[in-house]
Amino acid sequence: MINYNTILLTLAVLPAIVLMVYIYRQDTQEKEPIGMLLRALLLGILSTIPAAFIENILTAFSPSNELPIANGLFNGFVVAGLTEELCKMTALTIAVWRSRYFDEYFDGIVYATFVSLGFAGLENVMYVFSQSTFGSAIATGTMRAILSVPAHFLFGVAMGYYFALARFRPAQRSKYLALALLVPALLHGTFDALLMIPENMEHQGLISSILFLAFLWFDLRLWKYGKRRLQQLQQLGNEAAAQTTAKNYSFEEEPPTQDHHFKDIDDINW
């Protein structure tokens, strides 16, 4: 006998699991402890509670549906983007900021994506199981597996990138902490607004089509942005490790890579 709930639960959580495995394998310097990853994941799940509470309050201030652009912008950037990313960043800070395991640049992205995927995973479960029919639940789960869960993952990449810079560049900590919140909030808001604005538009087929094309373009750019941030933190981590290794050689012993000149981490051209 087919257990439909098991099928729906698998559909809802599998995308998050796949992305967590992916980012875990990308951490080539030193794997993070499973306990710390589970801590980040759990706090990401729990961060949905204050997010839902704040969003319910903010929704009362949403512009009328008769103003689709204002409504979409407010709900995309303020209700969803800023609120959810603030709650996720709070969870991330509680989870790892003081941890001795947060000792490499790439750790910022690892922990931030686990927090973000914990949030997205539970959100996905709620969306899928709130549908009235099995068919609509499958359709919702499939679309969110393709779009929403990967988007949360990429928002986490953006947050983790700046969160790591804030950790290891104390002279610019305030700036990078602000960017760790603002950049993913703006990405999140743009992603949601481009989908929300057409929802309330009537007899605006051309505008809706243009916005949908803009959404597809933005989604592709979001993937490219995330990949670039991953590569940049991996590069920073590798160079930091190389510098540490070079410093460990005694003055009497020449390092084996004497022809290689390590760039100062702060000199990386962003």
> Cα 132 to the chain's mean position, in Å?
29
pLDDT for residue 254: 47
268 in Cβ contact with 235 (< 8 Å): yes
156 in Cβ contact with 113 (< 8 Å): yes
pLDDT for residue 66: 84
Number of Cα atoms under 13 Å in the Cβ half of residue 104? 23
148 in Cβ contact with 75 (< 8 Å): no
pLDDT for residue 33: 96
**Per-domain residue ranges of the chain:** 4-250
pLDDT for residue 260: 38
Q: How far apart are CA 106 and CA 157, in angstroms?
A: 10
pLDDT mean by block of 10 residues, the chain; 270 residues: 86 97 93 97 98 97 90 96 98 97 96 98 96 95 96 98 97 98 98 91 79 95 97 89 66 43 38
Whole-Å CA distances, 58 to 182, 196, 198: 18, 16, 21
Own/partner long-range contacts of 66-70 (Cβ < 8 Å, ≥24 apart): 66/200, 68/197, 68/198, 68/199, 68/200, 68/201, 68/204, 69/197
Nearest to 96, CA basis, from 167, 7, 186: 167
pLDDT for residue 1: 54
pLDDT for residue 100: 95
Q: How far apart are CA 218 and CA 231, in angstroms?
A: 20
Q: Which two tokens stand for residue 205?
A: 């087929």
pLDDT for residue 252: 47
**∠ at Cα 203 (201, 206), nearest 5°?**
85
Q: How far apart are CA 241 and CA 54, in angstroms?
A: 42
Question: pTM score, two decimals?
Answer: 0.88
pLDDT for residue 3: 84
